[in-house]
């Protein structure tokens, strides 16, 4: 087994970072290896919360302050990891910042290269493994995500032609956005190839997650455990709408069955639910667990939401207000 305390999964949106990190955490659990999965959007994330938020990243002095702040964040986290008995699995915290911040700040390739060279020095004590996921067709990858993530996410992506990188390079419209994402992946690959430590690159275009996980576990030197899930005998009994009002805001979850999977309509229109056994499920790619509660007659009457994701309804129990027949 590779001697590491930190595994970082990186790649473009839709490449499968969270899916890979979640599946890898499952493999570590089934191998009885202590670990911690830090989804990039958990509450109080040690790296992502408030990253690059000092002043304006378009100001050179502020950008320098932000980079130093990121170095300090990582140094603090690495110290903590080294005192832990767990392997930390993280995603969305490495080359992702090229697109989030460096492309918005007029940063040159030399500046980006310097930043990642310096950053990786801070990670060395944890003997990190970098898992870089890539895609052959950028446009197809993003277009596949639009139905699952909704119109607001599609608008967010396509409006990125207002990004400073696009303006600097004369990129406009959808073609410009996809060209920018391609440039981002190319730059990320350059940074990945500069890293001389333990690393693996996986093209996830085919979406064959079990095959990728077999390859990754073999690379890490842990036994692969099949990604089988408990059988779901009565999916229809969970379907319906669940609601709770917190303050002046109404929160709703809608559980549906597409003939193959249960899924939840929440902050994204399609969030697949993975069965954990009984009335327990976890969101695919998210640290969100649902436990459905039955009444005395065995009918589902509420759902309890738990997990580490940064979401207002964590820890809440949402009563069922409508069955699938009423939808």
Query: For the domain that residue 32 is a member of, what is the CATH number?
Result: 3.40.50.300
Specify if 225 maps to a domain: no
pLDDT above 80 for 296: yes
Domain co-membership, 131 together with 55 = yes
pLDDT at 326 over 50: no
Report how many domains make up the chain: 2
* DSSP string computed for 122-154: HHGGG--EEEEEE-S-HHHHHHHHHHHH-HHHH
Q: Residue 33 is inside which H or E element, if any?
A: none
Same domain flag for 15 and 73: yes
Q: Is residue 112 part of a domain?
A: yes
- Residue 250: exposure state from Cβ atoms within 10 A (0-12, 13-18, ≥19): exposed
Residue 31: give the domain boundaries. Answer: 6-220
* Whether 76 and 157 share a structural domain: yes
Of 275, 217, 235, which is closest to residue 24 (Cα–Cα)? Answer: 217
Is the domain of 260 the same as that of 216?
no
- Whether residue 150 has pLDDT greater than 70: yes
CATH code where residue 263 lies: 2.40.128.50
pLDDT of residue 79: 98
Residue 83: count of CB within 10 angstroms of its CB: 7
For residues 229 and 212, the answer to whether their CB atoms sit within 8 Å is: no
Q: Are residues 67 and 180 in the same domain?
A: yes
Q: Are residues 38 and 184 in the same domain?
A: yes
Chain segment 282-293, per-residue pLDDT in tens: 999 999 999 999
Same-domain pairing of 212 and 163: yes
pLDDT value at residue 233: 84
**325 vs 225, higher pLDDT:** 225
Tell whether 229 is covered by a domain: no
Predicted pLDDT of residue 325: 53
Between 162 and 193, the more confident residue is: 193
Whether residue 227 has pLDDT greater than 90: no
- The per-residue pLDDT of the chain, averaged, comes to 95
For the residues 190-194, what does the mean pLDDT come to? 98
Sequence-distant (6+) residues with CB within 8 A of 31 are 222, 223, 225
- One domain, residues 45 and 151: yes
Look at residue 226 and tell me if it is in a domain: no
Statement to judge: residues 239 and 137 lie in one domain: no
33 and 140 co-located in one domain: yes
Last residue of a domain, one of 220, 251, 277: 220
> Does 230 fall in a domain?
no
Residue 231: pLDDT band with limits 50, 70, 90: confident
Last residue of a domain, one of 186, 220, 254: 220
Q: For the chain, what's the residue count?
A: 327
**287, 319: one domain:** yes
For 168, the 3-state DSSP assignment is: helix
Instruction: Tell me, yes or no, whether 83 and 208 share the same domain.
Output: yes
Domain end, chosen from 220, 255, 274, is at 220
Distance, first Cα to last Cα, the chain: 50
How sure is the predictor about 188, in pLDDT bands with cuts at 50, 70 and 90? very high
């Amino acid at each position: 087994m590779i001697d590491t305390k930190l595994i970082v999964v990186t790649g473009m949106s839709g490449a499968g970072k969270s899916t890979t990190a979640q599946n890898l955490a499952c493999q570590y659990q089934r191998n009885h290896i202590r670990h911690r999965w830090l989804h990039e959007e958990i509450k109080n994330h040690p790296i992502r919360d408030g990253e690059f938020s000092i002043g304006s990243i378009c100001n050179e002095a502020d950008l320098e302050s932000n980079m130093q702040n990121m170095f300090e964040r990582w140094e603090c986290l690495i110290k903590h990891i080294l005192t832990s008995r767990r392997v930390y699995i993280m995603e969305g915290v490495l080359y992702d910042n090229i697109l989030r911040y460096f492309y918005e700040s007029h940063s040159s390739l030399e500046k980006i290269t310097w930043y990642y060279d310096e950053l990786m020095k801070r990670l060395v004590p944890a003997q990190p493994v970098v898992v870089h996921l890539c895609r052959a067709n950028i446009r197809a990858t993003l277009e596949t995500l639009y139905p699952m993530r909704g119109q607001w996410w599609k608008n967010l992506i396509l409006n990125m032609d207002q990004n400073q990188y696009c303006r600097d390079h004369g990129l406009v419209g959808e073609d410009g956005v996809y060209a920018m994402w391609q440039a981002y992946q190319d730059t990320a690959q350059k940074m990945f190839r500069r890293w001389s430590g333990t690393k693996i690159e996986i093209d996830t275009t085919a979406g064959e997650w079990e095959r990728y996980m077999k390859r990754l576990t073999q690379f890490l030197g842990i036994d692969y455990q099949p990604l089988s899930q408990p059988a779901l005998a009565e999916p229809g009994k969970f379907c319906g709408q669940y609601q709770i009002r917190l303050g002046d805001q109404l929160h709703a979850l809608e559980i549906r069955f597409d003939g193959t999977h249960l899924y939840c309509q929440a902050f994204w229109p399609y969030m697949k639910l993975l069965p954990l056994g009984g009335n327990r499920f976890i969101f695919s790619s998210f640290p969100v667990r649902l436990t459905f509660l039955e009444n005395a007659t065995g009918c589902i009457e509420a759902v309890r939401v738990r997990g580490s994701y940064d979401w207002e309804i964590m820890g809440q129990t949402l009563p069922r207000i409508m069955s699938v027949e009423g939808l």
